[in-house]
Structure 1
Amino acid sequence: MTTLSGHTAAIRASRVIGTDVKDQTGKTIGKIEDVVLDKTDNAIMFAVIGFGGFLGIGEKFHPVPWAVLDFNPEYDAYVVPYTKEQLEAAPHDSISELTREDGRAHRDQAYDYYKVPRYWN
């Protein structure tokens, strides 16, 4: 099965982590810091996108539903249909807090904010 952009559906997490995230104009707005998996539903809960700060200080980490990320080979990055300002206003926390209590609270907030259909319903 392929993604909306025609790419294969399989990719190793180690290749995703560290990949730039850009807006639709090609401007870099962050990078994928981690991928959080839902062990009970066998799905990807969300990607953790980090941006802001300098050398890791003051950086914000945002849970973004995997379904909104689309890899664009022209940019060699994942593209999201949001501006940096929309992402800055989105739910965010430290990486350790994003996965606290199985990450479900942050998952639910992210899916609500981005208005993405819930994979677990």
Structure 2
Amino acid sequence: MAFDQTNILDRPGESLDHDETDGLISSEKVDGTAVYNRQGERLGSIHHLMVGKRDGRVRYAVMNFGGILGIGERYHPLPWDVLTYDTDMGGYSVDLDKERLEGAPSFERGQEPAYDRVYAERIGGFYGRI
């Protein structure tokens, strides 16, 4: 059965019938999803995704971490492939503890990095993805 793309964009105000299937999820549902470490400790939540313009692949899930009411909050780009969705927790899990996360590549609100090759290598190196 082929996916019917007709009229999806011609229906302003209408949403798709489903925002989640067995293998796909809308980015709207990913934003705000909790991120836990393997011990079940909540680390933060997904703030937004970074998607490759040319290939459409999700490269990073940017997780917010720390701070109180947005003050002192940091954003950590996690390579998408280090996250695993855990249905029991209702969120993503990552093999990372808070102490290690504090040393991970991150940025503050309003100071988002360029995501150039150097920064991508820094992220990949930290998470063992080079």
Bucket of the pairwise TM-score, normalised by the shorter protein? 0.7 to 0.9
Amino acid at match of 2:70: G
TM superposition shift of 1:28 = 0.4
| d(CA) in 1 for partners of 2:128, 2:110 | 24
Structure 1 stretches of at least 4 aligned residues deviating more than 4 Å after TM superposition? none
Alignment partner, residue 38 of structure 1: 52
Contact 1:45 1:65 in 2 (8 A): yes
Classify the secondary structure of the residue corresponding to 1:9.
Answer: coil
Q: Structure 2 matches for 1:13-32, cutoff 5 A?
A: 13-32=27-46
TM superposition shift of 1:99 = 5.0
Classify the secondary structure of the residue corresponding to 2:101.
Answer: helix
Verify: 1:94 aligned to 2:108, yes or no.
yes
Classify the secondary structure of the residue corresponding to 1:98.
Answer: coil
**What are the Cα deviations for residues 53-89 of structure 1, in whole angstroms up to 9, with x where unaligned?**
0000100101100000001011111000111111111
TM superposition shift of 1:27 = 0.8
Alignment partner, residue 77 of structure 2: 63
- TM-score if structure 1 supplies the norm length? 0.81
Alignment partner, residue 122 of structure 2: 109
Q: Which shows bigger deviation, 103-112 or 37-46?
A: 103-112
Kindly indicate which of the two structures has a greater share of residues assigned to helix.
Answer: 1
Verify: 1:52 aligned to 2:70, yes or no.
no
Task: Name structure 2 gaps, 5 residues minimum.
Answer: 1-20
Relative contact order, higher structure (CA 8 A, sep 6+): 1
Verify: 1:12 aligned to 2:21, yes or no.
no
1:75 to 89, 112, 123: 89
Task: Name structure 1 gaps, 5 residues minimum.
Answer: 1-6
| d(CA) in 2 for partners of 1:108, 1:34 | 20
Change (3 A) 1:8 1:112: farther
TM superposition shift of 1:41 = 3.2
Report the aligned-residue RMSD: 1.8
> Matched residues, percent identical?
32
Task: Count matched residues.
Answer: 109
- TM-score if structure 2 supplies the norm length? 0.76
